[in-house]
Structure 1
Amino acid sequence: MSDEAHAFVPGHITGFFTVDRGDDPIETGSRGGGLALSDGVSVTVSRSVETEITLNGDDIEMEAVERVLDALRTTATVTAETPLPLGSGFGVSGGLALGTALAANAVFGHGLSYNELVTIAHGAEVQAGSGLGDVVAQARGGVPLRLEPGGPQFNYLDAIPARSRVEYVTLGELSTADVVGGDTETLTAAGERALSTVVKEPKLSTFMQAARQFSREADLLTPEVKTVIDDVAEAGGDAAMAMLGETVVALGTGLSDAGYDATVCAIYPPGATIEDEG
């Protein structure tokens, strides 16, 4: 045990997904595919009488983090830093939840395994309504394909064995709860088709094509995002919409070549990890 511990969780952009409800939060989740990013969430957990959460220096309330600490029967100060925007499809809430679970386990000596901590964070995200598949993907890293939904006891993951420079531009926010809380039959059917396409040909180019098709078929593609994707295509690049956010992600120099002032990162093969224990 120590006074504080630090964890790093990669960001995660979802290209396509389903909504799969189970009888229990850890059975609930999504199938789909995404990119784990080198831009992520750095989380520090330290001992405290009362729980306090800050993100980039600002006090915030985040239900998923509070649920993680409640599950661990712990109060703590959670300090997070990230270059990623909140609510724009980068898995920031999932990163905070998973980073909190990993770091709190180290600080308070709970002695839980990696999968147990991922399960706690996944269940917290599901119950908070802020995500269905980010946590398990962020734990895996790389280009994870979620073939079965839920936490580690229930899901089945594979991956596309590839790395790439990644660029992104954020235009605004979309509410995860609003999208996954409504009628998701059409969305899930589109996600199943996209996943099937990528499983048959697990390449980054196929992933991007499937992601573009999913955003259209699920009726999530906004005019602003479509314009950017079309601009990248005209410049010879490969881009798609990040779920769920008004965000465009491109491989290589796709956005830069199209004239956009993009943020640059890369696919991040390792999953979430403890950085040190203070």
Structure 2
Amino acid sequence: MQNKIGKAFAPAHISGIFIIDIKKDPSLSGSMGCGICLEDGAVTEVRPSKETIIRINGIVTGAPTTLSAIGLLTPEPVLVDTKLDIPIGAGFGASGAGALSAALSLNEALSLDLTFKEVAGAAHCAEVTNMTGLGDVTGMTFGGMVIRKKAGAPFRGIIDKIPSRNTKISWIEFNEISTKSVLSDELKQKTINRAGKSRLKELFKKPTVENFMIQSAAFAKDIELMSPRVKDAIEAVKAAGGLASQAMLGDTVFAINDNGALMEFGKVHESRISNAGAHLI
């Protein structure tokens, strides 16, 4: 067991619409809403160690969400190596992807013999407690385009999915947005929840990839977190015949068929919708 290494992948998750639902029990808390998973994400290796150290892209970091998830699963010290090919603080669920891939890897490395529900539950509770996300871990657990119908940890909340191909998603990020600062603003929470309920209702009427993008853009507009550049980029994609919205919660625009419109705003990144959820590799 001493030399055993666990390795797992968790996809990025872009939330397009969400409704905050916080309860005393973090496993019953989280958000309702809808988001998409990407083939880009987090790959994490975990091995036994003399002390717990977390490295992200080779740099030692505090990574509170990953640290909390580990603490919920074992008292044993481990070395965690996470490689992220998504930006942090830009609405891709980097904290959740790091925590979920670390929890899955940890289960294998230490032969904890836990189920997916237990492992993903720890990552979800760590996210909610640290206020780094609410529904990302649930989306990442199942992959694809997950509709979260009832808040809670994976396998405790209620989910559905919008059938989707591995459609290409392009994005451009500008600045970071602190998830914590938005989630702790009571007035902003009310605005988000009012808009979220309205847009999710519209999405249920026509659960397609295209309508998800349309309702997400309307949600982003309703909650007024768009920077001028985000607004301009979304409009440019629309004018070019594509669909775009703001990644929640990030100063980031993601698009389908942007037809080159995002290029004028800076470096454009591309990935595809991943219908595979988090898994060992």
TM-score, normalization: structure 2? 0.95
1:61-100 mapped onto 2 (5 Å cutoff) = 61-73=62-74, 74-100=76-102
Find the counterpart in structure 1 of residue 202 from structure 2. 197
Structure 1 residue 178 and structure 2 residue 181: aligned? yes
Structure 1: which amino acid aligns with 2:18? F
Q: Is the 8 A contact 2:48 2:79 kept in 1?
A: yes
Find the counterpart in structure 2 of residue 249 from structure 1. 254
Q: Distance between the aligned counterparts of 1:249 and 1:113, measured in 2?
A: 33
Structure 1's unaligned 5+ residue stretches are none
Q: Distance between the aligned counterparts of 1:48 and 1:80, measured in 2?
A: 15
Structure 2: which amino acid aligns with 1:209? I
| Alignment deviations for residues 73-92 of structure 1 (CA, whole Å, 9 cap, x no partner) | 23211101122110110011
Structure 1 residue 11 and structure 2 residue 12: aligned? yes
Which secondary structure does the structure 2 equivalent of 1:115 belong to?
helix
**Alpha-carbon distance, 1:17 to partner:** 0.4
Which secondary structure does the structure 2 equivalent of 1:192 belong to?
helix
Count of residue correspondences: 274
**Alpha-carbon distance, 1:201 to partner:** 0.5
- Runs of 4+ more than 6 Å apart: none
**Alpha-carbon distance, 1:152 to partner:** 2.9
Structure 2's unaligned 5+ residue stretches are none
**Alpha-carbon distance, 1:4 to partner:** 0.9
Find the counterpart in structure 1 of residue 272 from structure 2. 266
Q: Percent identity?
A: 34
Q: Distance between the aligned counterparts of 2:70 and 2:261, measured in 1?
A: 44
Q: Distance between the aligned counterparts of 1:159 and 1:221, measured in 2?
A: 27
Q: Distance between the aligned counterparts of 1:216 and 1:145, measured in 2?
A: 20
Structure 1: which amino acid aligns with 2:178? S
**Alpha-carbon distance, 1:197 to partner:** 1.1
Which secondary structure does the structure 2 equivalent of 1:19 belong to?
strand
Which secondary structure does the structure 2 equivalent of 1:172 belong to?
coil
Distance 1:86 1:182, change over 3 A: same
Q: Distance between the aligned counterparts of 2:190 and 2:35, measured in 1?
A: 20
Q: Is the 8 A contact 1:53 1:61 kept in 2?
A: yes
Find the counterpart in structure 2 of residue 57 from structure 1. 58
Find the counterpart in structure 2 of residue 169 from structure 1. 172
Find the counterpart in structure 2 of residue 125 from structure 1. 127
Q: Distance between the aligned counterparts of 1:72 and 1:247, measured in 2?
A: 33
Structure 2: which amino acid aligns with 1:24? D
Q: Distance between the aligned counterparts of 2:124 and 2:262, measured in 1?
A: 37
| Alignment deviations for residues 200-243 of structure 1 (CA, whole Å, 9 cap, x no partner) | 10111110111111111112122110010011111111110000
Q: Is the 8 A contact 1:256 1:262 kept in 2?
A: no
**Alpha-carbon distance, 1:181 to partner:** 1.0
**Alpha-carbon distance, 1:251 to partner:** 0.9
Find the counterpart in structure 1 of residue 116 from structure 2. 114
Q: Distance between the aligned counterparts of 1:100 and 1:255, measured in 2?
A: 36
Find the counterpart in structure 1 of residue 149 from structure 2. 147
**Alpha-carbon distance, 1:23 to partner:** 2.0
The correspondence for 1:239, drawn from 238, 241, 244, is 244
Q: Distance between the aligned counterparts of 1:77 and 1:141, measured in 2?
A: 27
Which secondary structure does the structure 2 equivalent of 1:43 belong to?
strand
Q: Distance between the aligned counterparts of 1:13 and 1:36, measured in 2?
A: 6
TM-score, normalization: structure 1? 0.96
| Alignment deviations for residues 134-184 of structure 1 (CA, whole Å, 9 cap, x no partner) | 001000100111111011353111111012111010111101001111111
Q: Is the 8 A contact 2:141 2:154 kept in 1?
A: no
Q: Distance between the aligned counterparts of 1:105 and 1:207, measured in 2?
A: 34
Structure 1: which amino acid aligns with 2:252? T
Q: Distance between the aligned counterparts of 2:70 and 2:26, measured in 1?
A: 16
Find the counterpart in structure 1 of residue 158 from structure 2. 156
Structure 2: which amino acid aligns with 1:105? N
Indicate the larger mover: 81-90 or 257-266: 257-266
Q: Is the 8 A contact 1:235 1:258 kept in 2?
A: no
Structure 1 residue 104 and structure 2 residue 106: aligned? yes
